[in-house]
Each structure stands twice: as structure tokens, then as C-alpha cells.
């Protein structure tokens, strides 16, 4: 019998920190994409997340217009309306994140993702990146339209004037 001599087998090296970080970022972006696809596939979700803050601004400004008297503050509570609506929207978004993660845990989605060769942090980080993107879209649209509605300013209905008025409505002013 002849025996074949095998060459020396070298064990695989542990990937470096840079490679593991690159994998974790790629996994996070994959989970982010997965979570954002839900937003595009359910149109009601887009409507409620973008329109709800605007409806709250309309309600608190015009329906409850003078119902709350704030002594010593000219204009009443309207001066504090937009920061309050944005904070309220952020709070609702955090509830949505927690509920979505709990549902995925209950359905076993997170267990399936854990069994895959991916970074453990990607599940939570991907959800947070997706919800941060949603919150950015929601808060920018609500502050853009809500500031106009709360302050009572009116502009021409053209799209150019609407987008050109965005910096002044959101508080970006030159010094």
C-alpha cells in the first residue's frame, strides 16, 4: 500500500477587526433594507407616519387654538407646538420599534436570523437605522408643513416656492 502524504494543513486565521466590522456593517444594512421594504409594501404605514404629525399640528393649532392659556408667553402654547409634536412623533416611533421587535421575537424571526452567519448586533442595529431613517422623513415633513400651518404663513402653491421656503420654515436662517 502506498500512502499519500498530505501537505501541512494550516488552520484558518481569525479575520481581523476591520473585516469583522465590515461584515457587521453589511449585515446591518441588509437588515435595514429588509425593515424599510415593509414601509414601502404597506402604503397605510407611510400615510400614517407622515400624515399623523401634520394632523396633530392642525388639531392643536386650529381646533384647540385658544383653549390653553399660558400666562406671560405671547402667542400662548403655539410657540412650543412644533418641538412638542416632533417629540411626540419620536416617542410614537420608539413604541413602534419596540412592538415590531417583540412581534419578530414572538414569530421566531429573530431566532432564524441568529442561526445565520451574521453579526448578532445587526438585528437591533438594522432596526434602529431603518427607524431613524423613517423618523427623519417624518420629522422633516411634519416640521416643514407644520411650521407653516402653526405660524399661519401662506406661500404660493407652486412646488418651487414650497421647496425654496423649506429652510426658512425649518428654522435654518443665515446669521
Residue 41 pLDDT > 80, yes or no? yes
Name the residue with higher pLDDT: 76 or 99: 99
Residues 56/138, Cβ–Cβ less than 8 Å: no
First to last CA, the chain: 90
- The pLDDT of residue 2 is 61
Looking at every residue in the chain, the average pLDDT score rounds to 78
- The pLDDT of residue 25 is 96
The number of beta carbons lying within 10 Å of the beta carbon of residue 53 is: 22
pLDDT in tens, 123-172: 999 999 998 888 888 888 777 776 666 666 554 444 444 444 444 444 44
**Measured distance CA(68)–CA(60) in Å, rounded:** 10
Average pLDDT over residues 93-120: 89
Could you give phi then psi for residue 171, rounded to 5 degrees? 95, 5
Residues 114/101, Cβ–Cβ less than 8 Å: no
Which has the minimum average pLDDT: 20-34, 45-59, 108-122, 155-169? 155-169
**Measured distance CA(77)–CA(39) in Å, rounded:** 33
Question: CA torsion angle for 23, 24, 27, 28 (degrees, to 10)?
Answer: -150
Residue at grid coordinates 392642525: 58
- The pLDDT of residue 29 is 96
- The pLDDT of residue 156 is 46
Amino acid at each position: 500500500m502506498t500512502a499519500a502524504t498530505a501537505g501541512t494543513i494550516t488552520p484558518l486565521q481569525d479575520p481581523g477587526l476591520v473585516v469583522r466590522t465590515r461584515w457587521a456593517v453589511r449585515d446591518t444594512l441588509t437588515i435595514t433594507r429588509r425593515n424599510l421594504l415593509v414601509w414601502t409594501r404597506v402604503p397605510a404605514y407611510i400615510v400614517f407616519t407622515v400624515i399623523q404629525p401634520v394632523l396633530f399640528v392642525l388639531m392643536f393649532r386650529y381646533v384647540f387654538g385658544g383653549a390653553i392659556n399660558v400666562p406671560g408667553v405671547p402667542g400662548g402654547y403655539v410657540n412650543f407646538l412644533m418641538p412638542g409634536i416632533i417629540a411626540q412623533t419620536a416617542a410614537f416611533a420608539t413604541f413602534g420599534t419596540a412592538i415590531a421587535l417583540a412581534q419578530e421575537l414572538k414569530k421566531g424571526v429573530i431566532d432564524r436570523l441568529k442561526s445565520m452567519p451574521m453579526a448578532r448586533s445587526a438585528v437591533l442595529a438594522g432596526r434602529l437605522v431603518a427607524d431613524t431613517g423613517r423618523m427623519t422623513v417624518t420629522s422633516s415633513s411634519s416640521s416643514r408643513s407644520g411650521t407653516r400651518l402653526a405660524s399661519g404663513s401662506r406661500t404660493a402653491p407652486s412646488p418651487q416656492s414650497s421647496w425654496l421656503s423649506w429652510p426658512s420654515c425649518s428654522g435654518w436662517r443665515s446669521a
